[in-house]
């Protein structure tokens, strides 16, 4: 199993490679037991959202991560990738604005926003 720092690097790099934007990494380890980190990224279309999710999954498999659990792939509007200690939210930009997960987790320490 790959280390969490390496996993975060692979995920954010895959997002960048597929032109995902507004990439945010949030440390939620002190607030919930469901994961240590959330990664939130946006795409401009359903096709791009699906492409970002596919790239993340492909790169993790190449690195030896065994399985990625995913939800919402069929719609391409909000895809959730469960990597156990990291949860990745790949949003269509409209859905991200509507749900505004960053606001829900605003009190977290360790929020890192990567520039586009």
pLDDT tens per residue across span 19-64: 999 999 999 888 888 999 999 999 999 999 999 999 999 999 999 9
* Mean of the per-residue pLDDT values of the chain: 90
Residues 13, 108: Cα–Cα separation, whole Å: 23
Can you name the residues that pair with 113 across neighbouring β-strands?
24
CATH, range 4-113: 3.30.460.10
Q: Kindly list the domain boundaries of the chain, sorted by start residue.
A: 4-113
pLDDT of residue 115: 47
- Give pLDDT tens digits for 60-108: 999 999 889 999 999 999 999 999 999 999 999 999 999 888 877 766 5
pLDDT of residue 110: 53
- Choose the most confident range, by mean pLDDT, from 1-10, 82-91, 107-116: 82-91
Strand order of the β-sheet with 86-92 is 69-71, 78-82, 86-92, 37-43, 21-27, 112-113
**Which residues are CB-contacts of 99 (< 8 A; sequence separation ≥ 6)?**
78, 91
CA 105 vs CA 24, 31, 39, 64, 97: distances in Å: 12, 9, 12, 30, 14
SS3 108: coil
């Amino acid at each position: 199993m790959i280390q969490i720092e390496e996993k975060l690097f692979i995920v954010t790099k895959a997002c960048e490679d597929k032109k995902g934007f507004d990439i945010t990494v949030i440390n939620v380890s002190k607030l919930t037991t469901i994961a240590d980190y959330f990664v939130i990224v946006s795409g401009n279309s359903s096709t791009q959202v699906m492409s970002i999710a596919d790239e993340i999954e492909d790169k993790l498999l190449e690195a030896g991560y065994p399985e990625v659990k995913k939800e919402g792939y069929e719609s391409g509007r909000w895809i959730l990738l469960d990597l156990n200690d990291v949860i990745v939210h790949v949003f269509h930009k409209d859905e991200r604005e509507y749900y505004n997960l960053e606001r829900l987790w605003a009190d977290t320490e360790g929020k890192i926003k990567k520039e586009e």
